[in-house]
A and B are shown apart, each in its own frame.
Chain A
Amino acid sequence: MIAIIDYKAGNLTSVRLALEYIGVECEITNDPARILAADRVIFPGVGAAAEAMKNLRELQLLEPIKTVVSRGTPFLGICLGTQVIFEYSEEDGGTPCIGLAPGTVKRFTPSNPADKIPQMGWNAVEFRCFGEPFPRNQSAVLRCFGEPFPRNPNSVPRCFGEPLPRNQKAVPRCSGEPFPRNQSACHPLFNGIEDGSEFYFVHSYYPSPSDAAYTMGETEYADARFASVIGKGNLFATQFHPERSGRIGLKLLENFSRWDGKC
């Protein structure tokens, strides 16, 4: 059962309908007990940071959210949900947020007036592997947690506990997903989704993680190249709306519905 957290931050209908469409059981709830009992949790949200934090406090949802994240429950943040997991947002004159991810949330400040605010529409997400460029070129020097991929075939470095390939022609794995032979995914939630795919965004503020390893996807808009996808362990959060992003978005939700939270 997926719990969709309802903290009066916008319309949850499309999230629920998207999950129902792909045949995934879900319930919209603000009951801490239901959230703690869920197999997976979705933390959506549309609106403003201050109001969101106020509601979360009043509904006493901060502790359940911190608990599900710290104990390893697969957790998907969407839009405002992705923003309030950071430490602080510039919105509403400055709003302290939950603090599950290090960094802040900033407002777009375009120099070109043709860049309207909010960003409203489809924009590309370039995959990142914990902040590192996603390898398009198999002979490039791949990095895993900052460690060089195997130049020395005699060493057995490890990548997330998996042995790195002695034979560079082998298909190394990262987080259980094939590394760039088919360039499909660096993260289980991107499985079957092409790097550079467009998703639907509506936002005036964007996440700015202070630790680059949290960046799982980047997008460019209004002079900013920002982290549009955040990830660490069982935490995964998108600035875009997967439930409004057509087939590709449904694929991400489907991947989430099967995810065990490991990465």
Chain B
Amino acid sequence: MQILVALLSGLLFGAGLTLSGMVNPAVVLGFLDVAGDWNPALLIVMVSALAVALPGFRLLAGRKPLFAPRQFVPTRSDIDVPLVLGSLIFGIGWGLAGICPGPALAMLSIEPGRAVIFIAAMSAGMLAVHLIRR
């Protein structure tokens, strides 16, 4: 059942990315381009997503999931150097091509050639960090 839920969640997520234009780097870069012809779409996407997720998460706080033994949620609340540095690096990379992990995967079925390059490099970056920090 967890597999089916994950599949459904992925489908809804991918559909949301596609419908909203978030799978299109040009639209994402349009939002990040505050000095240029600004596109507010990404902001609307986030506000809309939070309008659903905030109350949803609040309702689900501390509740046992229907198909799992427990929730697997982060417990830390401290702000440390890896968080800050990592977010900086991620943001810079995000601004270079307008692509982040979710849209990169969704892009596989639209522009597979471009997506594979990005995903391969992204995977290398992830593996490198995990190797170094072990």
- The answer on A and B forming one complex is no
Residues of A within 8 A of B (CB): none
Residues of B within 8 A of A (CB): none
